[in-house]
């Protein structure tokens, strides 16, 4: 007799709940690695992306429009393509093969950084440019130009930029293609939440896959709530 699919789903959920409640070390190791990789990528992409976005917003240079269109288009980079390119770069024969990064969490951080850098830079560029409309005359009158003006604007709209960083974080935590290719999904080394979900689903271990899915969504929700709270408080205080 064929199993009842509804019963199957119910059993999977029950299994997932039990797994989460049990504090299974394998599960939490995977969760922790996911967080480490994606938060590192967000940190790097923020450090690089915010100044890049602000510079493009404030500076006038030939080809600026093309750069903006390109940057916006890169927000839609397919993770597998980024994974493939980083794989080629980091593989033994590749130009950065000597670093020995392939199939390590480091490679996963590199891939995710490349993936979300355009998101953070493009959203930042838009936010800074909108602010520049309001601030330009005042800042130029005070003598703030170029990098100084860009830095002032970044700091002044810091609460709006939280949204850009959150978009990057969401993308990094959710993607599977890039980390799968450059990390290799090695058990206990480079296995993160999304790659485990993909693998366990194909193997049929639905409770583990589902429990990771639940943890992943809860984490994303909690991080968004926390950042939103900080942003609200900041905006209320500074106007």
Residues in touch with another protein (CB under 8 A): 134-135, 137-144, 148, 152, 155-159, 237-239
Residue 146 CB, nearest approach to another protein (Å): 12
Cα four-point dihedral sign 177, 38, 189, 201:
negative
Residue 59 CB, nearest approach to another protein (Å): 18
Residue 124 CB, nearest approach to another protein (Å): 16
Q: Which is nearer to another protein, 184 or 234 (CB)?
A: 234
Q: Which one, of 40, 26, 55, 209, lies nearest residue 125 by Cα?
A: 55
Q: Which is nearer to another protein, 134 or 187 (CB)?
A: 134
Task: For residues 121 and 68, give the distance between their C-alpha atoms in angstroms, rounded to a whole number.
Answer: 10
Upper half-sphere CA count for residue 167 (Cβ side, 13 Å) = 18
Task: For residues 140 and 144, give the distance between their C-alpha atoms in angstroms, rounded to a whole number.
Answer: 5
Q: Is 2 helix (H, G, I), strand (E, B) or coil?
A: coil
**Quick count: other Cβ atoms within 10 Å of Cβ 40?**
18
Q: Which is nearer to another protein, 62 or 143 (CB)?
A: 143
Task: For residues 64 and 69, give the distance between their C-alpha atoms in angstroms, rounded to a whole number.
Answer: 9
Residue 159 CB, nearest approach to another protein (Å): 8
Helices (H), 143-205: 146-156, 158-174, 177-183, 193-203
Q: Which is nearer to another protein, 94 or 234 (CB)?
A: 234
CA angle 143, 152, 40 (to 5 degrees): 150
Q: Which is nearer to another protein, 36 or 158 (CB)?
A: 158
Q: Is 96 helix (H, G, I), strand (E, B) or coil?
A: coil
Q: Which is nearer to another protein, 26 or 235 (CB)?
A: 235
Residue 163 CB, nearest approach to another protein (Å): 16
Task: For residues 116 and 214, give the distance between their C-alpha atoms in angstroms, rounded to a whole number.
Answer: 23
Residue 225 CB, nearest approach to another protein (Å): 23
């Amino acid at each position: 007799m064929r199993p009842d699919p509804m019963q199957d789903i119910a059993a999977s959920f029950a299994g997932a709940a039990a797994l989460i409640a049990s504090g299974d070390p394998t599960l939490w190791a995977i969760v922790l690695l996911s967080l480490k990789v994606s938060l590192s990528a967000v940190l790097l992409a923020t450090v690089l992306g915010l100044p890049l976005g602000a510079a493009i917003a404030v500076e006038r240079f030939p080809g600026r429009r093309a750069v903006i269109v390109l940057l916006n288009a890169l927000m839609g980079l397919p993770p597998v393509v980024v994974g493939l390119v980083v794989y080629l770069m980091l593989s033994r024969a590749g130009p950065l093969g000597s670093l020995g990064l392939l199939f390590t969490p480091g490679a996963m951080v590199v891939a995710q950084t490349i993936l979300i850098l355009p998101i953070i830079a493009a959203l930042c560029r838009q936010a800074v440019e909108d602010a520049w409309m309001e601030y330009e005359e005042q800042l130029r009158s005070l003598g703030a130009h170029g990098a100084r003006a860009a830095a002032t604007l970044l700091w002044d709209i810091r609460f709006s930029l939280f949204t850009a960083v959150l978009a990057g974080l969401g993308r990094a935590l959710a993607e599977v293609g890039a980390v799968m290719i450059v990390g290799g999904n090695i058990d206990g080394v480079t296995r993160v939440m999304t790659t485990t979900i993909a693998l366990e689903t194909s193997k049929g271990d639905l409770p583990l896959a589902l429990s990771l899915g639940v943890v992943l969504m809860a984490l994303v929700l909690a991080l968004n709530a926390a950042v939103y709270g900080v942003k609200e408080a900041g905006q209320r205080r500074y106007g």
